[in-house]
Amino acid sequence: MRLIPVALLALSAVTAAMPLCAAAAPHEPRVGSHSALVIDQESGEILFGKNTQSTLPIASLTKLMTAIVTLDAELEADELLQVTQADVDRLRRSHSRLQVGTVLTRDELLHLALMASENRAASALANSYPGGREAFVLAMNLKAQLLGMSGTRFADPTGLSGRNVSTAHDLAKLVRAAHAYIKIREYSTSPSYQLTVGRRTMRFGNTNRLTLNSRWDIGLSKTGYIAEAGRCLAMQMTLAGRSVIIVLLDSWGKYTRVSDAIRIRQWLEVPSGRFAVHRSVRSGPNGIVSIEG
């Protein structure tokens, strides 16, 4: 009888174990966004990352910081503010449903800035800040420093400026901080908002259509778009019993950021996905791998 070399026996054992290893390390999702980050909100564990330190324009994701600075100032929420010529976008000539002369409360403007990404609303909030727009932008940058957002710079409160830049890593910090504010959570995720403007009743919708889907447990949402930034999305949501933060920057197509979010969700929730397997595979002494749970 021929003896089988020990080396061949070892190779056979490794080969036999390969399907199990492949199952324990599921493929990462295909993400079309240039930069993407998914983290566990509680532990800070990175679940998925792609170009997370790339410094990119962030468009209207800026408005999360605009909301934080507004709320931190503890100004009167019911104070009436007027949209003026100073709030008109002369850089990109973007459309706004808020005409010059529109009078709304600070709270109503905050709601529109977060949910409908109304640029004139965000601008009016900044211009009514003590010290005006310049002091507001300074407060935005100071807050970024306090949050440890070292790769972030703000030049305006709307996100229309391409000089508003950040990284996916920094924006995850911003989302975590913003999620602590009840109004930011509520206003950014409301599917629609109706209010009276003069003699008219106006209805605004959320710029993130995923907030319309009851299957998505979204606790915070903000979209953004300018040509330099592409389409962006930042969310806090609950998946598979865990609170996660998702940041997607510079999505090249109109629907790419939503498709990326859907693929990330599917990847996290499938039985062999990140939540179900990754944390249960551990390497013990002498390189022995055990699967727990």
Tens of pLDDT, residue by residue over 81-120, are 999 999 999 999 999 999 999 999 999 999 999 999 999 9
The residue with tokens 């990754």 is 278
Residue 57 within a domain: yes
Residue 139 within a domain: yes
Quote the pTM value.
0.84
Q: In this structure, how many other beta carbons lie within 10 angstroms of the beta carbon of residue 273?
A: 20
- Report how far residue 133's alpha carbon sits from residue 126's, in angstroms, rounded to the nearest whole number: 5
Residue 239 within a domain: yes
CATH of the domain at 272: 3.40.710.10
Residue 158 within a domain: yes
pLDDT at 68: 98
Residue 5 within a domain: no
Residue 11 within a domain: no
Q: In this structure, how many other beta carbons lie within 10 angstroms of the beta carbon of residue 291?
A: 11
pLDDT at 239: 84
pLDDT at 270: 74
- List Cβ<8 Å contacts ≥24 apart for 142-148: 143/65, 143/68, 143/69, 143/72, 144/65, 144/170, 144/174, 147/173, 147/174, 147/177, 148/173
Residue 1 within a domain: no
Residue 30: left (phi > 0), alpha (psi -120 to 50), or beta?
A: beta
**Any residues with CB less than 8 A from the CB of 246 and at least 6 apart, and which?**
36, 37, 38, 233, 234, 235, 236, 237, 261, 264
Q: In this structure, how many other beta carbons lie within 10 angstroms of the beta carbon of residue 225?
A: 20
By residue range, what is the domain housing residue 271? 28-291
Read off the pLDDT of residues 18-57 as tens digits, 9 standing for 90 and up: 333 333 335 788 899 999 999 999 999 999 999 999 999 9
Q: From first to last of the 293 residues of the chain, give the pLDDT tens digit.
A: 444 444 433 433 333 333 333 333 357 888 999 999 999 999 999 999 999 999 999 999 999 999 999 999 999 999 999 999 999 999 999 999 999 999 999 999 999 999 999 999 999 999 999 999 999 999 999 999 999 999 999 999 999 999 999 999 999 999 999 999 999 999 999 999 999 888 889 999 999 999 999 899 999 999 999 999 999 999 999 987 899 999 999 998 888 999 999 999 999 887 545 554 333 333 333 333 322 22
Residue 79 within a domain: yes
- Which helix (DSSP H) or strand (DSSP E) does residue 127 occupy? helix 119-127
Q: What is the largest CA-CA distance in the chain?
A: 98
For the chain, the domain total comes to: 1
pLDDT at 252: 84
| Catalytic positions, written as ranges | 60, 63, 117
Closest CA to 64 of 187, 240, 225: 187
pLDDT at 197: 86
C-alpha pair distances (Å), 145 with each of 32, 138, 158, 174, 225: 30, 11, 19, 11, 24
